[in-house]
Amino acid sequence: MEIKLVVLDWAGTTIDYGCLAPTGAFVESFAAKGVNVTLAEARGPMGLHKKDHIRAMLRTEIVGDKWRAAVGRDWAESDVEELYRSVTPLQVAAAEKYRALIADVPAVASELRAKGLKVAASTGYFHEAAAVVLAAAKHQGFEPDFNICADDVPAGRPAPWMIFRCMESLNVYPPAAVVKVGDTVIDIEDGRNAGCWSVGVIDSSNEMGLSEAELKALTAAELEARRRDIIARYQKAGAHAVIHAIADLPALIGAINTRLSRGERP
């Protein structure tokens, strides 16, 4: 058995270095209700469908307390719907703004395909934002063999349905022949739930939360400390492997194939 399929996340993994597009939209939507959430609080549930993301934010003690202080009552499902309607156009605009493909993605995809692998993409974005990133990626030289978003399945991450749909559409099985690559803890969880190899990328990730310029401005000690913290979070979620950048993926695929040849399974 060898790896036949790689499923890549979009923002923070293949496009939008630092996963900057989604966070600002959440902050702005909450601010319109008088609730001042931080970027860190907005990043917490990243990887979920955006409506689930809003719900997860409100369920945290910190944001729930801020909501009650600003609005004067507990949040309700109608508030989730209102915030989602507000965040949707903001996220589409942000996806347009942060549309730069992460360096090496087209080269990595070409290298994997040259070795006979298929490359799919999945995202917690809704249809409108997913269409923006797909079009932007095509324009910059990367087009997945299959693309899916959270609106296309009964439940988004951490449910494994998007990965299973990728496998079905590209006729790849079993799950041990699939690698899921993402930049959030939720990505690691949906890979594990699908029974495939689950890999976390560090430097461009939502977990790092920095633009490429901001990352390069860190001291070596600061960067190493941040990387250690992210690795620990990925490993706690059950990651089978962690890479610094997407450029490290082909070598990792080779290492996983070696593990498969020894009889190891995810």
**What is the set of active-site residues?**
9, 50
How far is Cα 199 from Cα 151, in angstroms, rounded to an integer?
23
Token pair, residue 239, equals 């990651």
What secondary structure, in 3-state letters, does 63-76 show?
A: HHHHHHHHHCCCCC
Query: What are the DSSP E strand ranges found in 25-145?
Result: 118-123
Q: At a CB cut-off of 8 Å and minimum separation 6, what does 50 contact?
A: 22, 84, 87, 88, 91, 124, 125, 126, 129, 150
Q: At a CB cut-off of 8 Å and minimum separation 6, what does 171 contact?
A: none
Q: Sheet containing 146-149: which strands, arranged edge to edge?
A: 146-149, 118-123, 5-9, 178-182, 197-201, 241-243
How far is Cα 116 from Cα 215, in angstroms, rounded to an integer?
34
* 172 contacts 118 by C-beta, under 8 angstroms: yes
